[in-house]
């Protein structure tokens, strides 16, 4: 189960009326966020977390992880990508703090490192993974040195014995994210993003990744594994229904047919 805190990437319409929006710094997310009716909306100005509040956010992740395992999940994945709260701490443009959680790269990776350490202590390191996407610009990310940031993060958590790092692999100028991970992380690597069956098999055969994951193809193909095995054609995911649906409206979610 993926554990996700959106931080500043939020609109009030998606929250309870009295819910706050918090982030490392009081900097609004410039990208619109889809609201409850599927239409993009302007984000709200976040409140910067006080230093003594940050451990309580980690505690919320820990509580969620314990609940997930209690409910029968095999493990949890801390979502540190896509411009959400952990990535907001990591990125130099969204983290303008002057305390122990901001400034230097060692300080900016501290929140994620401490949260992963706390999750490992709570449910066991073999039940904890984390997801990263160095260099992504989604939700207003613009780190001045993504290679340096993720090198520091990977080195900081490499000794925790975590289950895996889950890499959303995108092109970057000046470095290759998979090479960066392999050079600074000794644990298993899951590769993700834009994979075909053939590309995935080649990555595994060459030992560049230990496992692969699929997103969009699984949305449109509930029997994706069987289609891969049989060589059947893949259905297309309908982007126009990704952020829509009210109540019992299953369109674009559970109405994609299986083979036969």
pLDDT value, residue 39 = 87
pLDDT band at 243 (very low <50, low <70, confident <90, very high): confident
Q: Supply the pLDDT for residue 245.
A: 65
The CATH number assigned to the domain holding 100 equals 3.20.20.70
Whether 15 has a pLDDT exceeding 90, the answer reads yes
With bands split at pLDDT 50, 70 and 90, how would you rate the model's confidence at 80?
very high
Say if residue 158's pLDDT is above 80: yes
Whether 6 is covered by a domain: the verdict is no
- Yes or no: say if 204 and 174 are a contact pair by the CB < 8 Å rule: no
Residues 20-30: pLDDT tens digits?
Answer: 999 999 999 99
Q: Identify the pLDDT of residue 1.
A: 97
Q: Classify residue 77: in a domain, yes or no.
A: yes
pLDDT band at 122 (very low <50, low <70, confident <90, very high): very high
pLDDT band at residue 249 under the 50/70/90 scheme: confident
Whether 131 maps to a domain, the answer reads: yes
34 DSSP assignment: E
Q: Which of 189, 227, 193, 194 is nearest to 211 (CA)?
A: 189
89 closest CA partner among 149, 39, 138: 149
Average pLDDT over every residue of 119-146? 98
Q: Is 164 a catalytic residue?
A: no
Predicted local confidence at residue 251, as pLDDT: 83
List, as one string, the DSSP characters of 114-142: HHHHHHHHHH-GGGEEEEE-TT--GGG--
- Mean pLDDT over 84-101 rounds to 98
Beta bridge mates, 128: 76
pLDDT at 248 over 80: no
Structural Rg of the chain based on CA atoms:
19
Q: What is the average pLDDT score of the chain?
A: 95
Confidence grade of residue 106 (pLDDT, cut at 50, 70, 90): very high
Percent of the chain scoring above 70 in pLDDT: 98
Domain contains 224: no
- Among 84, 101, 150, 164, the active-site one is 84
* Structure confidence at residue 246 (pLDDT): 63
**Res 233: pLDDT:** 95
Residue at 168 is within a domain: yes
Is residue 221 domain-resident? Answer: no
Average pLDDT over every residue of 124-138:
98
Domain count, the chain: 1
- 92 is in which domain, residue-wise? 51-213
CB-CB neighbours of 113 under 10 Å: 17
Within-domain flag for 162 = yes
Compute the average pLDDT of residues 68-73: 98
pLDDT tens-digit readout, 167-215: 999 999 999 999 999 999 999 999 999 999 999 999 999 999 999 999 9
- Which pLDDT score, from 0 to 100, does residue 177 have? 98
Residue 17 lies in a domain: no
């Amino acid at each position: 189960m993926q554990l996700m805190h959106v931080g500043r990437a939020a609109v009030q319409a998606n929250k309870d009326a009295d819910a706050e929006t918090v982030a490392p710094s009081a900097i609004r997310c410039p990208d619109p966020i889809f609201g409850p009716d599927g239409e993009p909306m302007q984000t709200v100005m976040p409140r910067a977390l006080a230093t003594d509040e940050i451990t309580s956010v980690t505690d919320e992740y820990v509580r969620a992880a314990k609940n997930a395992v209690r409910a029968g999940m095999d493990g949890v994945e801390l979502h540190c990508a896509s411009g959400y709260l952990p990535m907001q701490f990591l990125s130099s443009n969204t983290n303008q703090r002057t305390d122990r959680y901001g400034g230097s790269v060692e300080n900016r990776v501290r929140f994620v490192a401490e949260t992963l350490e706390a999750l490992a202590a709570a449910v066991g390191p073999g039940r904890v993974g984390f997801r990263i996407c160095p260099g992504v610009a989604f939700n207003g990310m613009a780190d001045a040195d993504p290679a340096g940031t993720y090198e520091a993060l990977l080195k900081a958590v490499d000794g925790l014995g975590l289950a895996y790092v889950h890499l959303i692999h995108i092109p970057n100028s000046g470095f290759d994210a998979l090479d960066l991970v392999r050079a600074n992380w000794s644990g298993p690597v899951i590769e993700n993003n834009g994979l075909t069956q053939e590309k995935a098999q080649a990555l595994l055969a060459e030992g560049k990744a230990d496992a692969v994951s699929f997103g969009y193809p699984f949305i449109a193909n509930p029997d994706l594994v069987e289609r891969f095995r049989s060589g059947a054609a893949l259905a297309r995911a309908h982007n126009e229904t990704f952020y829509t649906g009210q109540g019992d409206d299953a369109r674009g979610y559970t109405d994609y047919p299986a083979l036969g």
